[in-house]
Amino acid sequence: MAAKVGYLVVSVLLVGYLALAGHRALLLIREGTWITVALGVAVLALPLIGGWFLWRSFRFVLFANRLSRELDAEGGLPVDDLPRTPSGRIDREAADVAFARRKAEVEERPEDWRCWFRLAVAYHDARDTPRARRTMEHAIALHAGRPAPRRERA
């Protein structure tokens, strides 16, 4: 729950910043001189890129949460039973063992989004966030019946 609140706070702050930057860009463009128009267009790129990034992240979270709820309802959500270090982090060796099991599961059934979802969780537990995200995107695409992105294969 704390992560959701943190995400919401950061998102609201980012939207406020993007709105302020967009407003300043429009003021620069309205000045009408060649330099202020050029600067205004350059500054306007920031809110557009930031808005796109925020939208993509928001959609990713919505779709991943939807898959999580569906998998939980089916009883297929991976159980968080890995041993942890005194600091609370998942033990790396245990995460690697769980990862190998999940990867074998995906190799057996590469068309099943559930296997890819569990592999994404295993990547996350193994502290490989970029691959966890790409693998989750693959699971989302499989669930939606779209061709999966070519970037990530088990």
Q: Do 88 and 55 fall within a single domain?
A: no
Domain span holding position 121:
84-144
Round to whole Å and give the CA distance between 106 and 115.
5
> 3-state secondary structure string, 17-69?
HHHHHHHHHHHHHHHCCHHHHHHHHHHHHHHHHHHHHHHHHHHHHHHHHHHHH
Residue 153 lies in a domain: no
Round to whole Å and give the CA distance between 18 and 85.
40
Question: Of 93, 101, 130, whose CA–CA distance to 118 is shortest?
Answer: 101
pLDDT digits over 93-139, tens only?
A: 888 888 899 999 999 999 999 999 999 999 988 888 999 999 999 99
pLDDT of residue 151: 54
Least confident of 23-27, 47-51, 88-92: 88-92
- The domain spanning residue 109 has which CATH number? 1.25.40
Q: Do 52 and 4 fall within a single domain?
A: yes
Overall domain count for the chain: 2
pLDDT digits over 7-22, tens only?
A: 889 999 999 999 999 9
